Amino acid sequence: MLTSSAASATTTGTTSQASQSEAKLKDDLNKFLNLLVTQLKHQDPLDPMDSTEFTSQLVQFASVEQQIHQNANLEKLIGLQQGSQVSSLVNYIGMKVEATGQKVPLEYGSAKFTYSFNTNANKSTVSIINAKGLTVASGDGELTAGKHSYTWDGRDKNGVLQPDGDYTVVVTAQDRDSKLLPVEHTIFGYVNGASADKGAISLFMGKNIQVPLDGIKSVTQ
């Protein structure tokens, strides 16, 4: 699911916007010129039109056209830069990364993630939810403050192995007053693609898990 296709789409999209603006400008200019010619044909020879106004309008059209061309060139440069960034991300393909998020890929019957909270919990629960929104597995989590690692073997509460795919991890932690504690999640997976869309660079893992580049915590072989 690589790589520069999204960047190309972005470049094409932004360039087409500039083309549409240019086409509209040409249409407006043609209408203005036709109107101007009609007015000149029917003007009173003894009281000719003042050229100052339509000259000013022509200058405005020229200024807008120049701005449109500048925007188109800028959009092309942005698209090329994004394509270059995506190309540089090819080195990530096949590598295992840790990233911020709760969607975790189950690959070859294994899914790894972490969760952390800053204070001790009185109760914590780890739940695995499938794409249909059903909880397929759950269990007690750690109670001590800090970062905890968890590996799911892909089996549901009845011991049935679930199909590889993307799942959602939800860890809840409560203090002694039954108040929810803030929980941070990270997930692990192998990178299988990259994209650039409107300046945002992302990596992909699993079937359809998109991770912003700034959400990557660590990279391993």
CA dist 131 and 166 (Å) reads 7
Which residue ranges make up each domain of the chain? 5-91, 96-220
Half-sphere exposure of 99 toward its Cβ, with a 13 Å CA cutoff? 25
CA dist 214 and 203 (Å) reads 10
pLDDT at 152: 96
Mean pLDDT to the nearest integer, 193-203: 78
CA dist 181 and 194 (Å) reads 34
pLDDT at 5: 34
Mean pLDDT to the nearest integer, 183-197: 90
**pTM, two decimal places:** 0.62
Rounded to the nearest 10 degrees, the angle between the axes of helix 51-88 and helix 5-41 is 170
pLDDT at 92: 80
16 confidence band (pLDDT: 50, 70, 90): low
CA dist 86 and 191 (Å) reads 13
Mean pLDDT to the nearest integer, 35-59: 60
Q: What is the CB neighbour count within 10 angstroms for residue 182? A: 9
pLDDT at 2: 24
22 confidence band (pLDDT: 50, 70, 90): low
Q: Residue 1 pLDDT > 90, yes or no?
A: no
In degrees, rounded to 5, the angle at the alpha carbon of residue 68 between the alpha carbons of residues 63 and 74 is: 125
CA dist 79 and 83 (Å) reads 6
- What are the Cα distances from residue 175, in Å, to 47, 67, 117, 127, 172? 88, 59, 11, 18, 10
Q: Name the residue among 219, 194, 210 with its Cα closest to residue 85.
A: 194
**203-214: per-residue pLDDT in tens?**
899 999 999 888
Beta-ladder partners of 146: 117
Q: What is the CATH number of domain 96-220?
A: 2.60.40.4070
What single-letter amino acid sits at 50? D
Overall size of the chain counted in residues: 221
CA dist 127 and 171 (Å) reads 6
Average pLDDT, the chain: 77
pLDDT at 18: 55
CA dist 190 and 202 (Å) reads 14
Decide which of 220 and 118 is more confident: 118
Decide which of 102 and 45 is more confident: 102
**146-189: per-residue pLDDT in tens?**
999 999 999 999 999 999 999 999 999 999 999 999 999 999 99
pLDDT at 74: 47
Of 33-42, 58-67, 75-84, 124-133, minimum mean pLDDT range: 75-84
**49-84: per-residue pLDDT in tens?**
555 665 666 566 566 556 655 555 445 444 545 555
Q: Which residues contact 204 (CB under 8 A, 6 or more apart)?
A: 1, 191, 192, 193, 194, 195, 210, 211
Q: Residue 101 pLDDT > 70, yes or no?
A: yes
